[in-house]
C-alpha cells in the first residue's frame, strides 16, 4: 500500500500489519509471504492474547515446554501480554514460547469437541466485535460470509455520516504501549440544513511506563538514544472531515495528510517520556449528510487499556437537539454529551428540530 511503502514491509515483515484494515493486511501478506519463502496462503486469522485466552474455554489449560505454569482462561492474557517479558530474557525464547502457545492451543481446538453454536457465539462474539478475533479469507465466497458475520475486521466504510478512529503504533521498538492510555474529547457542531460539521478533537496520550525495573524489551528503545520508558507514538486520525488547524500544548503542529480507506488521515510522531502526557488538538470541518439526524461512529483499535471517549454534540442557532437516546441532553445549552469507554465500534444518532 502506498501509505506504508516507506516502512518497507517487504524487509520488515512485522510492519505489514500497520494498516488498521485486516483485509488489506491479508492481501499484503498473501503477496509478501511467498516471496519470503513461505507457502501460498488461503487467508489470515488474527488472534490477540485476549482472544487466545477465550479459546482456552474450549480447550482447557495448555502446557508449554519450558514454562512451569499452564495457560488458563484466567491467566493467559496477563502472561502473553506482560509476564512473558519478565520470564524470558532472550527474544528467541519469547518467540518459541508464543509459537508453542498458539500452536498447542489450535491443535487442541481442532482436535477437540466444540460446544454448541450458542456457546461459541457467546464466547467469541464479543471478541469479534472488539476486533480481537478476525477472519479474512482470500476466497471471495468465504470472505463474503465473514463480512456478513462482521467477522473479517474490516475498517468501517464511509456511510455519509461523521466518523473518527484513533490509531496509535509504537516506533520506539519497545512495549511501552502496554502502559499507554488514550483519551479523546470530540466536540462537534452540526447544521442539519447544510450538513456542515465543525468539530474540535482533543487527544490526550498518557505514558505510564516506568523508567526502570523492567527489561530492555519493554522499556528500552533498541539504541535509539531515548530515555528508558519513552514511547514514540505514530498517531493517525481517520476522519471524513478536513483539517483546519492542529496544535499541541504549546504551539501549532503540521500534521501529515494522506488518504486511506475512503478517509482523510492526519498523522504525527509524538515522543512521550516515562510518566509523561502529550496533548494534540485538531480543528476539523466538512460536510456530512444533511437532514435532521446527525450520525457519528467512533471506530475502535484493540488496545491493552480501554480508551476514554467523551462526545459532545451541539446545535446551531436555528436548531435544537430533540430525540437523542444515546446522549445526555441539556436543552438550556443546546448540547448532548456522553462519556464512554468503548470496547467496540460506537454509533450514536441525534435528531434535530427547528427551534
pLDDT band for position 332 (cuts 50, 70, 90): confident
* Average pLDDT, integer, range 167-195: 96
* Average pLDDT, integer, range 279-291: 97
Largest CA distance in the chain: 70
* Average pLDDT, integer, range 278-306: 97
Phi, psi of 83 (to 5 degrees): -65, -25
Query: Over the stretch 252-277, which tens digit does the pLDDT of each residue have?
Result: 999 999 999 999 999 999 999 999 99
Mean pLDDT, the chain, whole residue set: 94
Is the pTM higher than 0.75? The answer reads yes
∠ CA 191-349-19, nearest 5°, is 95
DSSP states of 219-247: H--TTS-PPTT-EEEEEEEEESSEEEEEE
Cell representation of residue 226 = 531515548
Is 46 strand, coil or helix?
Answer: strand
How many separate helices (H) and strands (E) can be counted in the chain? 8, 16
pLDDT band for position 203 (cuts 50, 70, 90): very high
pLDDT band for position 1 (cuts 50, 70, 90): low
As a whole number of angstroms, the distance between CA 175 and CA 3 comes to 24
Query: Over the stretch 34-70, which tens digit does the pLDDT of each residue have?
Result: 988 889 999 999 999 999 999 999 999 999 988 989 9
Q: Which residue has the higher pLDDT, 224 or 52?
A: 52
Beta bridge partners of 187: 200, 312
E strand or H helix that includes residue 29: helix 22-35
131-140 burial, b for 16+ CB within 10 Å, e for fewer?
bbbbbbbbee
As a whole number of angstroms, the distance between CA 47 and CA 54 comes to 10
DSSP state of 212: S
315-338 burial, b for 16+ CB within 10 Å, e for fewer?
bbeebebbebeebebeeeebbbbb
As a whole number of angstroms, the distance between CA 49 and CA 351 comes to 40
As a whole number of angstroms, the distance between CA 310 and CA 200 comes to 12
E strand or H helix that includes residue 190: strand 180-191
Percent with pLDDT over 90 in the chain: 83
Percent with pLDDT over 70 in the chain: 99
* Average pLDDT, integer, range 76-87: 94
As a whole number of angstroms, the distance between CA 23 and CA 154 comes to 6
Where helices occur in 36-157 by DSSP H, the ranges are 49-59, 76-78, 84-87, 91-111, 117-129, 140-148
141-150 burial, b for 16+ CB within 10 Å, e for fewer?
eebeebeeee
Query: Over the stretch 110-153, which tens digit does the pLDDT of each residue have?
Result: 998 888 999 999 999 999 999 999 999 999 999 999 999 899 99
* Average pLDDT, integer, range 86-101: 90
Cell representation of residue 352 = 434535530
Class of domain 162-354: mainly beta
- Please answer whether residues 197 and 287 qualify as being in contact, where contact means their C-beta atoms are separated by less than 8 angstroms: yes
As a whole number of angstroms, the distance between CA 245 and CA 137 comes to 40
* Average pLDDT, integer, range 228-247: 98
* Average pLDDT, integer, range 212-226: 91
**pLDDT for 8 beyond 80:** no
Residue listed under C-alpha cell 478536513 = 242
Is 54 strand, coil or helix?
Answer: helix
As a whole number of angstroms, the distance between CA 128 and CA 146 comes to 11
DSSP states of 162-178: EEEEEEEEE-SSS-GGG
Cell representation of residue 285 = 470541518
The domain locations on the chain are: 5-148, 162-354
- Alpha carbon 276 to its chain centroid, in Å, reads 21
User: Nearest to residue 41, comparing CAs of 138, 132, 177?
Assistant: 138
Among the listed ranges 93-97, 167-171, 332-336, which one has the minimum average pLDDT value? Answer: 332-336
Amino acid at each position: 500500500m502506498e501509505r506504508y511503502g516507506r516502512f518497507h514491509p517487504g524487509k520488515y515483515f512485522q510492519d505489514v500489519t500497520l494498516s488498521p484494515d485486516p483485509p488489506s493486511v491479508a492481501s499484503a501478506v498473501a503477496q509478501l509471504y511467498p516471496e519470503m519463502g513461505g507457502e501460498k496462503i488461503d487467508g489470515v486469522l488474527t488472534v490477540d492474547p485476549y482472544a487466545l485466552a477465550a479459546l482456552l474455554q474450549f480447550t482447557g489449560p495448555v502446557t508449554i515446554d519450558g514454562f512451569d505454569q499452564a495457560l488458563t482462561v484466567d491467566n493467559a492474557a496477563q502472561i502473553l501480554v506482560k509476564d512473558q517479558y519478565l520470564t524470558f530474557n532472550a527474544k528467541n525464547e519469547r518467540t518459541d514460547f508464543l509459537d508453542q502457545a498458539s500452536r498447542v492451543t489450535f491443535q487442541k481446538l481442532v482436535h477437540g469437541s466444540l460446544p454448541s453454536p450458542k456457546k461459541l457465539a457467546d464466547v467469541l462474539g464479543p471478541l469479534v466485535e472488539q476486533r480481537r478475533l478476525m477472519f479474512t479469507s482470500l476466497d471471495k465466497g468465504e470472505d463474503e460470509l465473514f463480512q456478513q458475520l462482521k467477522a473479517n475486521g474490516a475498517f468501517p466504510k464511509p456511510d455519509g455520516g461523521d466518523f473518527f478512529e484513533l490509531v496509535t503504533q509504537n516506533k520506539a521498538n519497545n512495549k511501552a504501549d502496554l502502559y499507554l492510555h488514550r483519551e479523546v474529547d470530540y466536540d462537534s457542531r452540526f447544521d442539519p440544513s447544510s450538513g456542515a460539521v465543525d468539530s474540535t478533537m482533543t487527544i490526550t496520550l498518557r505514558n505510564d511506563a516506568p523508567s526502570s525495573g523492567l527489561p530492555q524489551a519493554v522499556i528500552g528503545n533498541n539504541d535509539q538514544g531515548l530515555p528508558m520508558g519513552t514511547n514514540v507514538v505514530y498517531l493517525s486520525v481517520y476522519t471524513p472531515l478536513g483539517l483546519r488547524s492542529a496544535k499541541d500544548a504549546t504551539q501549532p503542529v503540521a500534521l501529515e495528510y494522506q488518504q486511506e480507506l475512503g478517509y482523510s488521515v492526519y498523522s504525527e510522531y509524538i515522543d512521550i517520556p516515562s510518566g509523561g502526557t502529550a496533548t494534540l488538538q485538531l480543528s476539523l470541518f466538512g460536510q456530512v449528510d444533511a437532514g435532521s439526524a446527525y450520525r457519528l461512529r467512533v471506530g475502535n483499535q484493540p488496545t491493552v487499556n480501554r480508551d476514554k471517549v467523551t462526545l459532545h454534540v451541539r446545535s446551531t442557532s436555528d436548531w435544537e437537539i430533540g430525540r437523542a437516546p444515546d446522549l445526555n441532553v441539556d436543552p438550556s445549552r443546546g448540547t448532548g454529551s456522553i462519556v464512554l469507554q468503548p470496547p467496540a465500534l460506537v454509533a450514536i444518532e441525534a435528531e434535530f428540530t427547528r427551534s
